[in-house]
Structure 1
């Protein structure tokens, strides 16, 4: 008897992710969750340089600004609630010190530029099709930063709007990095503040636009754009509130790990899986709290742990443990 609807996935035959890959993750919370898992297993990755970006236009702005050499100035930031903010970035970048905000924005743009040019894989996660547009400038913002609602117009991006944005994003990336693999996902996090019906409408626009885009790409020889069904795994395979956090909106640690395992089935190479086992052993060893730190058994364990670290460092010098 089956107690789950299993979503069948096929192993990616080429262009898999290994410990030589460079992975850039942009977008909504799924990028954060998977990115943190990449971080734990010591892959080379860069996660959301401007913080969480919920909709495609915010991601498009980041990619465009990074590749076009934009430099943020005082005209691009504003003061609210004793913090300086930028409409292009999440509040993670916000700070009471103006110069620090500008430094973080420009440093993140430079690093994003580097990663866009050298990444082997870019994972783009779309969270919502709802956007807020400043009434006076018509700018679509990445984050409202708790500014008065009356200053914004809230609109739903059409499928064509999203499709055009995805095309702009990929065209710009592929122009500087023609061999990059771009993996699209839709965040399983529900934006219930928009309303349940509105959230479903939003997700449907995102999913439709991505698949229309991929259908167009399929006619291009050796195309490297893909879809990973994180949203479908959460909604159809893990369709139970025991897989959610207490807010009943965000996937919990069990769900995140499950989706990572499915992602690994598709995208992570066999050689990388073996290294993941070594990294896991070391990570657990580092976190281990001994009853007797001076015991012979624990000292031997520490020696073995250091030996594994050294062997791993020989193969992958970029792997560092705190």
Structure 2
């Protein structure tokens, strides 16, 4: 007898979707929303995981749109990255929430000016509360701080106005904000600078409706200046490093946060024109891989997982393709473990600086 499931393709059935020779052949993308061209300006922002997309696009020869360039070509790449150059399209550091993204755009266009403009660290240097890791050690003076920020805001405006594709990785729902004006910080005051005060600061855990409204407002603002920009959304598979909810385990807080983000993105995909979702979250967290895509700390994503996600991205969103992880494993089985360990050490060192959230754990040791 006929039924609605009778003629559906394999990817619609759990038993068939992961029935593959190697886990890297699992493909939850089905089809891409558009095709990237090499001349398209592709901008990225969001949580730490968005950096992987930028790195792979650059290696593949695509036009990764960087508007805040390193000040001098002789500066080593690692040093430039520690100052936020090339990590994302501009030196905004991690934008973990949609509210941070929206407020950044408003600040860049003079539509919002937070009352708590800067913090001071233990040495008295100035820390930007909205991008605390981009200036190691802090800014020496207010003149230096404001001059650098004006350059940054100009770079943000270019992203809004000139990007052909804007990729945003939703990372967290938990955040800290000023009670006076609602300004959302990258980290809680006191972690990387500033003084935490229950009179001045409060914890917020954004809901689905709030996230949808914030991102929708940002896209509306962006498209008022750049009507044809395409939006690509992802959800970070990286668990929370800590939760500020004392009555909640970080395990359940992570499950809640990622669930909220995933629902919000699904609603945004339905409501926004030319906005698409890429399921890197499902690739990394899917139980089909039996945890193989996480390192021993169960938080950092292994290069195998990144390679799987990016090979699918290249397959569905570009005219290029990358060899599957399975084929690489067969060719380099004896060398893969040592190479992967070396890569993880390098990435771990980089992310310890680049991911603002890592500073939370350091601040409580």
**TM-score tier (shorter):** 0.7 to 0.9
Structure-2 residue corresponding to 1:26: 45
SS in 2 for 1:162: helix
SS in 1 for 2:311: helix
Structure 2 vs 1, CA of residues 78 and 118 (structure 1 numbering), >3 Å: closer, same or farther? same
Once the 2 structures are TM-superposed, how far is the Cα of residue 69 of structure 1 from its aligned partner?
4.4
**C-alpha contact (below 8 Å) 1:61/1:88 kept by paired residues:** no
Structure 2 vs 1, CA of residues 39 and 246 (structure 1 numbering), >3 Å: closer, same or farther? farther
SS in 2 for 1:92: coil
Structure-1 residue corresponding to 2:27: 7
Once the 2 structures are TM-superposed, how far is the Cα of residue 122 of structure 1 from its aligned partner?
0.1
Once the 2 structures are TM-superposed, how far is the Cα of residue 204 of structure 1 from its aligned partner?
1.1
**C-alpha contact (below 8 Å) 1:120/1:179 kept by paired residues:** yes
TM-score, normalization by structure 1? 0.74
**C-alpha contact (below 8 Å) 2:293/2:301 kept by paired residues:** yes
Matches within 5 A, 1:55-204: 55-66=97-108, 68-69=109-110, 76-82=117-123, 83-93=125-135, 95-98=138-141, 99-135=143-179, 137-144=181-188, 146=191, 147-151=194-198, 152-194=201-243, 195-204=250-259
Structure 2 vs 1, CA of residues 209 and 39 (structure 1 numbering), >3 Å: closer, same or farther? same
Do structure 1's residue 232 and structure 2's residue 282 form an aligned pair?
A: yes
Out of 252, 256, 259, the position equivalent to 2:306 is 256
Q: How far apart, CA to CA, are the structure 2 residues paired with 1:96 and 1:62?
A: 20
Do structure 1's residue 53 and structure 2's residue 95 form an aligned pair?
A: yes
Structure-2 residue corresponding to 1:212: 267
Once the 2 structures are TM-superposed, how far is the Cα of residue 239 of structure 1 from its aligned partner?
3.5
Q: How far apart, CA to CA, are the structure 2 residues paired with 1:174 and 1:233?
A: 30
**C-alpha contact (below 8 Å) 1:51/1:93 kept by paired residues:** no
**C-alpha contact (below 8 Å) 1:181/1:225 kept by paired residues:** yes
Structure-2 residue corresponding to 1:306: none
Gaps of at least 5 residues in structure 2 are 1-18, 67-87, 244-249, 323-365
Structure 2 vs 1, CA of residues 21 and 247 (structure 1 numbering), >3 Å: closer, same or farther? same
**1:128-154 per-position Cα deviation (integer Å, ceiling 9, x unaligned):** 111112345543212235145554322
**C-alpha contact (below 8 Å) 2:161/2:222 kept by paired residues:** yes
**1:203-241 per-position Cα deviation (integer Å, ceiling 9, x unaligned):** 111111111122223xxxxx2111111111111166344
**C-alpha contact (below 8 Å) 2:38/2:63 kept by paired residues:** yes
Once the 2 structures are TM-superposed, how far is the Cα of residue 72 of structure 1 from its aligned partner?
8.1
**C-alpha contact (below 8 Å) 1:238/1:255 kept by paired residues:** no
SS in 1 for 2:242: helix
TM-score, normalization by structure 2? 0.65
Structure 2 vs 1, CA of residues 73 and 135 (structure 1 numbering), >3 Å: closer, same or farther? closer
Q: How far apart, CA to CA, are the structure 2 residues paired with 1:101 and 1:264?
A: 39
Structure 2 vs 1, CA of residues 42 and 71 (structure 1 numbering), >3 Å: closer, same or farther? farther
**1:172-223 per-position Cα deviation (integer Å, ceiling 9, x unaligned):** 1111111110001100111141211011111111111111122223xxxxx2
**C-alpha contact (below 8 Å) 2:28/2:282 kept by paired residues:** no
Q: How far apart, CA to CA, are the structure 1 residues paired with 2:181 and 2:53?
A: 35
Structure 2 vs 1, CA of residues 213 and 75 (structure 1 numbering), >3 Å: closer, same or farther? closer
Structure 2 vs 1, CA of residues 36 and 97 (structure 1 numbering), >3 Å: closer, same or farther? farther
Q: How far apart, CA to CA, are the structure 2 residues paired with 1:117 and 1:96?
A: 29
SS in 1 for 2:56: helix
**C-alpha contact (below 8 Å) 2:46/2:94 kept by paired residues:** yes
Structure 2 vs 1, CA of residues 241 and 101 (structure 1 numbering), >3 Å: closer, same or farther? farther
Q: How many aligned residue pairs are there?
A: 265
**1:275-301 per-position Cα deviation (integer Å, ceiling 9, x unaligned):** xxxxxxxxxxxxxxxxxxxxxxxxxxx
Structure 2 vs 1, CA of residues 129 and 13 (structure 1 numbering), >3 Å: closer, same or farther? closer
Gaps of at least 5 residues in structure 1 are 218-222, 275-322
Alignment RMSD: 2.7
Q: How far apart, CA to CA, are the structure 2 residues paired with 1:81 and 1:41?
A: 43
